[in-house]
Structure 1
Amino acid sequence: MRIIAGEFRGRALASVGKGDAGAHLRPTTDRVRESLFNVLNHTGVLKDARILDLFAGTGALGLEALSRGGQHVTFVDDGRVSTGLIQKNIDLCQAKDRCKLIRRDALKLPVNPATPFDLIFLDPPYGKNLGQKALQVVLSGGWVADDALIVWEENAPMPVSEGFELESSRKYGDTYITLMWRNAATRG
């Protein structure tokens, strides 16, 4: 795994090794990340974005977004292996001053004490309905900006949640990525 473009371009990320089967650690492949970020570049959401990476795994999605112009990224994961990999990857990118790691279950986040996030990566373990639950937690907790873009990775296309508008849904092998704007009518 590596950072594909931007400030950290070409930086190799920590190897997942045997990973953590119990935590369903499944990094987004370089090919899927490259395709996803080609789409995100055209939305204009990356420049100076505040990024929330839920079920962050290795942190590759959040770090790629930071590399491509994001302002700050907050990673949320509760896996022992995952949080170690995220911290190592933050260090490899020398981005500690622009990153925060919350070691917590994404379904148990408290109310957000800071500014809401513009770009939310939602990459839960496939097929467990955790994405819908996590989205409700971050919405009710004030984590999602009014005009935020949700990037939801699953093994099936995800239904567009109430209050959101579909940007696009794409299939990459066994991975589906659904992009949804919150309150699309207010985007300007």
Structure 2
Amino acid sequence: MRIIGGELGGRKINPPGKMPHTRPTTDIAKEGLFNIIENNLDITALHTLDLFGGTGSISYELKSRGAAACTIVEKDPAMYEFIRKTAASLHLENFNVVKMDVFKFINQCTNKYNFIFAGPPYALGTIDELPRLIAEKQLLQPGGWFVLEHTPRNNYETYPLFATSRNYGTTIFSIFVNKNL
């Protein structure tokens, strides 16, 4: 796994060999996602939330490209420690790692973010709740984006805030935008 762009671009990240609940976003899908982000948002102004942090890959990419602040939520103890240690070794500032269940975090969260990413396990039975909860709890700043990574079997076109989706084979990114400005 590697960081693709920004000041840390090219740096290799070596996640643990056994990650039973983690499926890192592929480099091709990540490149596509970051092309969309960079063409639509000012990354240096973003306060981000990464739900189901996994290896931390999306947040390392955001920080490498200058994101103002990143918060990652990951409940698996081994992955939480991996993200913390990797962030320290990369000397990332304004990088907060929270060890908690994502749904508990969402329900108690009082912050608002410019960019939220969720890459849940594809088999998560409650994946369809995520876009509804993000909208209901008003976690997005005006103009803020929520990107949900999922498979083709999920469709969110009728959900609140849905704007568009991008397909990268078995990976789809549905993009939701808080258009209240």
Name the TM-score, length of structure 2 as normaliser: 0.88
Query: 1:35-114 counterparts in 2 under 5 A?
Result: 35-95=32-92, 97-109=93-105, 110-114=107-111
| Structure 1 residues not aligned, in runs of 5+ | none
Q: Does 1:16 align with 2:16?
A: yes
Report the Cα distance in structure 2 between the residues aligned to 1:138 and 1:165, rounded to whole angstroms: 11
| Structure 2 residues not aligned, in runs of 5+ | none
Given that 1:122 and 1:152 are in contact with CA atoms closer than 8 Å, whether structure 2 keeps it comes out as: yes
Residue aligning to 1:145:
141
Given that 1:57 and 1:77 are in contact with CA atoms closer than 8 Å, whether structure 2 keeps it comes out as: yes
Residue aligning to 1:134:
130
The percentage of aligned residue pairs carrying the same residue is 27
Identify the range of structure 1 (173-182 vs 69-78) with the bigger mean alpha-carbon deviation. 173-182
Identify the range of structure 1 (153-162 vs 142-151) with the bigger mean alpha-carbon deviation. 153-162
Distance 1:45 1:135, change over 3 A: farther
Query: 1:110-125 counterparts in 2 under 5 A?
Result: 110-114=107-111, 116-125=112-121
* Cα shift at 1:141: 4.0
Given that 2:135 and 2:160 are in contact with CA atoms closer than 8 Å, whether structure 1 keeps it comes out as: no
Identify the range of structure 1 (66-75 vs 121-130) with the bigger mean alpha-carbon deviation. 121-130
Name the TM-score, length of structure 1 as normaliser: 0.85
Given that 1:111 and 1:141 are in contact with CA atoms closer than 8 Å, whether structure 2 keeps it comes out as: no
**What whole-Å deviation, never above 9, does each CA across 1:82-116 have from its counterpart, x for those lacking one?**
21221122123210x311111111111143344x1
Q: How many residues were matched structurally?
A: 179
Distance 1:11 1:67, change over 3 A: same
Report the Cα distance in structure 1 between the residues aligned to 2:120 and 2:95, rounded to whole angstroms: 20
Report the Cα distance in structure 2 between the residues aligned to 1:52 and 1:38, rounded to whole angstroms: 19
Report the Cα distance in structure 1 between the residues aligned to 2:143 and 2:108, rounded to whole angstroms: 19
Secondary structure class of the residue paired with 1:8: coil
Name the aligned partner's letter for residue 121 of structure 1: F
Report the Cα distance in structure 2 between the residues aligned to 1:162 and 1:86, rounded to whole angstroms: 31
* Cα shift at 1:138: 4.0
Distance 1:103 1:139, change over 3 A: farther
- Structure 1 segments of 4+ aligned residues over 6 angstroms from their partners: none
Q: Does 1:180 align with 2:143?
A: no
